[in-house]
Structure 1
Amino acid sequence: MDGFNAMFEKAKERIEILSSLESTKEESIESMLDKKGYDRRDFMKWAASITAMLSLPSQFTPLFAEAAKLADRLPLIWLHMAECTGCSEAFIRSDAPTVDSLIFDHISLEYHETLMAASGWQAEENLEHAMKKYEGKYILLVEGGVPTAMNGMYLTLGAQAKTGLSLVQEAADKAAAIFSIGTCASFGGIQAAAPNPTGAKGVDKVVNKPVINVPGCPPSAANIVGTLMHFLLFGTLPALDRYSRPKWAYGNRIHDLCERRGHFDAGEFVESFGDDGAKDGWCLYKQGCKGPYTFNNCSTERFNQHVNWPIGAGHGCMGCSEPNFWDTMGPLEKPLESHLVGGLNKTVDNIGTTLLSATVLGIGAHAVASMFVKNSDEQEGE
């Protein structure tokens, strides 16, 4: 509890600092919330969900509520590199409060090529003005891999044809914090897949400052908003794993909390898409699900306002939040031989299930035992 108490006091100090900063909006966030029809109960429910998502005690809920009300004190600059804009699509679908009331009305989004009205010279002027006016204060979010081959000439932006590489480096140098949004910005993504002719890299490989990676193709809106809220309240980076991903979001494997985990433990696998096992929601491992070696919270947060996710819809995890997933996680609809116990993948039909390496994947002994019990029962019944 001493650690949480220290965090609590630090958060209170952070609230005082944010309160002293000049608002970028003419109207207060509280006033906007009232106009949007959100009462205090709804707003506190949202703050409580953020608190729980970040694995913090409930006493932090009022602080997150206060931090959200002061969110317009921290301007955002969102840059697009080599990407499909899917991460922005995920971001604008954050659900409660809605994106326009929480993100765009409350947080000062100074630059976003997809969403802003300005274009051409005016857009570039807005970006340069924001970087100068809020130097050392703004949060930089980058979407997309950064091409580095030919000195970055595979991607040029705007009327001045600046390279994406130079633009990211310039913006990062003046930012208070840097977030890589999506797998492309975090690790290069599909742009960095072999043979990677453009030399695409993650943002952290081209700047000299700490970067928080929020991978996924796309990441859930919850992971984006939660990471922003953590920095807003504490002013520091959250606890990160070895790939600079927030542990609160990427600390568990998809497999750990998967709704089909019980079928995995029982050795019940979909043998082909559309079979009876698929209809009954059995485990998709044998159809190439990468959940046992992918770290993300998709199984709990889901997508489209928490309605569903790929495994729930009947297709295995592709491992999209892992580095180099396009090269290392294929083929997408077959198990990875590199992660199987030697030889067993060749006799999968005889054994009745595929035994995963407990050393590599950390699968519990109970799961291994249950597979063989199931197989033994089936053989006795024949």
Structure 2
Amino acid sequence: TTAELLLELVSVEYHETIMARSGTSAEVARRQVMEVAPNGYLAVVEGAIPVGDDGVYCTVGGRAFSDVVREVCGGSAATIAVGSCAFDGGAPAAGGGLTGSVGVEQVVPDVSLVNLPGCPVNVENLAATIVHYLTFKTLPATDARHRPLFAYGGLLHNQCERRAHFEFGEFVQAWGDEGSQKGWCLYKMGCKGPETFANCPTARYAGGISWPVKAGHGCIGCTMAGFWDQMSPVYGRLPSPLPFAPQVSADQLGIALVGGVAALTVAHGTASAVRLHRRGVEERRAARLAEVGIDEGDTGAAEATEALEAIEAADEGDVDAGGAGASDEDAAEAATSDEASGPPTAATPPAPVTEIVDGAADAEGGAR
């Protein structure tokens, strides 16, 4: 469990909230960890990191938080950014915030990093990430935004216990209506499940008891980048990807784009085949001209074409002459064969043919 992990398997040496030390003593504890275990500790960072105005909007022990993050994470074996704020700045970075808040990745881009976004982060995912590192001595596989695939590799919508209602078109239309009481799908109430990647439906919160959708509130997409801006309004559907065609959904647009790419692929293949055929024709033409010592670049295309036509006409004449010669030879061979066989013999006269017309004709012929 998370409690066993924190109390029995790992040693939490520095945490402003739960550590007994405070003030200068707490800062000494942090430096001691870095000295005793260089590149041998896990750094867990929570909260947005203001970098505007030299980081004065958040200081720890009189130092800018951004400087502390660079120092601690730079000397760690691995860094884990927990929560949406540590992921990409979260709420302080939304809507053009004045603090210039960013996530851990923007401050220390070269460290070994895992991002665990969520508002709040699911502690089960944090515990699983630490256990994976302790077991395999490496961080779990991640996506392009450094989010572990075991937690953020699947679409939340596909794991939701209300997915069946979505398929049957059973939606909550207003808070407190019949569909709401029966646990129908919250898509029309602004649920961002179809656009969000997370394991909230399976990991859940509060020891696996519940999560927002089970409790009757739609997903707000808090595991996605810039969700405060990108997933708003919370209780409304996201705008159409095509402002001039609001009835077109993202799925429909995706299908159309896939079809377009397929058509372009076929067109590209056809054009490539034509281009290869044309190149072959040009290569054969150049080779044929080279046989008779003609350079098309020097003589010009028109003269080269005339030369090729003359060559082809000469080739056809050779073929006709060759055929006639073969006929004469065949005739001579046939004559020689006849002489060898001797003079022809007389033809054997044909046997008489008797035609019977009828009995009367035979009798008359016999009388004559």
Counterpart of 2:48 (choices 117, 130, 145) is: 145
> 3-state SS of the aligned residue for 1:105?
helix
Q: Does the Cα contact within 8 Å between 2:81 and 2:87 map onto a contact in 1?
A: yes
User: Equivalent residue for 1:190?
Assistant: 91
* 1:63-85 Cα shifts (integer Å, max 9, x gaps): xxxxxxxxxxxxxxxxxxxxxxx
Question: Counterparts of 1:187 and 1:356 in 2: how far apart (Å)?
Answer: 24
Unaligned runs of 5+ in 1: 1-95, 346-353, 363-382
- Write the distance in 2 (CA, Å) between the matches of 1:290 and 1:272: 17
CA contact (8 A) 1:184 1:191 kept: yes
> Per the alignment, in what secondary structure is the counterpart of residue 114 of structure 1?
coil
SS class of match (1:249): helix
2:22 to 114, 119, 139: 119
Instruction: Say yes or no: does 1:223 pair with 2:125.
Output: yes
Q: Residue 134 of structure 2: SS of its match in structure 1?
A: helix
- Tell me whether 1:253 sits opposite 2:147 in the alignment: no
Alignment of 1:102-251 (within 5 A): 102-158=5-61, 161-207=62-108, 208-251=110-153
| CA displacement at 1:360 relative to structure 2 | 4.6
Q: How many pairs are equivalent? A: 255
CA distance in 2 between counterparts of 1:178 and 1:152 reads 21
C-alpha RMSD of matched pairs (Å): 1.9
Over alpha carbons, which structure has the higher Rg?
2
Q: Which deviations, in whole Å up to 9, do the C-alpha atoms of 1:337-365 show, x marking residues without a partner? A: 135897465xxxxxxxx966245599xxx
Which of the residues 278, 282, 285 maps onto 2:180? 278
Instruction: After the TM superposition, list the runs of 4 or more consecutive aligned residues in structure 1 that deviate by more than 4 angstroms.
Output: 339-345, 358-362
Report how far residue 184 of structure 1 moved: 0.6
- TM-score w.r.t. structure 2 length? 0.66
Question: In structure 1, what is the Cα distance between the partners aligned to 2:79 and 2:255?
Answer: 31
| Structure-2 separation of matches of 1:263 and 1:342 | 30
Q: State how far apart, in whole Å, the 2-side matches of 1:103 and 1:135 are.
A: 21
Deviation at 1:253, TM superposition (A): 1.2
Once the two structures are aligned, what percentage of the paired residues are identical? 43
Q: Distance in 1 between matches of 2:37 and 2:187?
A: 48
**Secondary structure of the corresponding residue to residue 191 of structure 2:** coil
CA displacement, residues 131-176 of structure 1 (integer Å, 9 cap, x when unaligned): 1111110000000111000111111112xx0110000000011100
Deviations 1:222-257 (A, max 9, x none): 110111111111122221111110011100111011
C-alpha contact (below 8 Å) 1:269/1:286 kept by paired residues: yes
| Amino acid paired to 1:198 | T
Matched position secondary structure for 2:121: coil
Which residue type is aligned with residue 310 of structure 1? P
**Aligned partner of 1:297: which letter?**
N
In structure 2, C-alpha distance between the alignment counterparts of 1:265 and 1:337, rounded to whole Å: 21
Contact 2:241 2:249 in 1 (8 A): no
Query: 1:143 & 1:239 partners in 2: Cα distance?
Result: 21
Kept after mapping to 2: 8 A contact 1:341/1:355? no
What stretches of structure 2 of length at least 5 have no aligned partner?
257-368
Q: Distance in 2 between matches of 1:218 and 1:260?
A: 22
- Cα 1:361–1:128 change in 2 (3 A) is farther
Superposed displacement of residue 285, structure 1: 0.6
**Secondary structure of 1:109's match?**
coil
SS in 2 for 1:331: coil
Q: Which has the higher contact order (CA 8 A, sep 6+)?
A: 1
Matched, 1:314 2:208: no
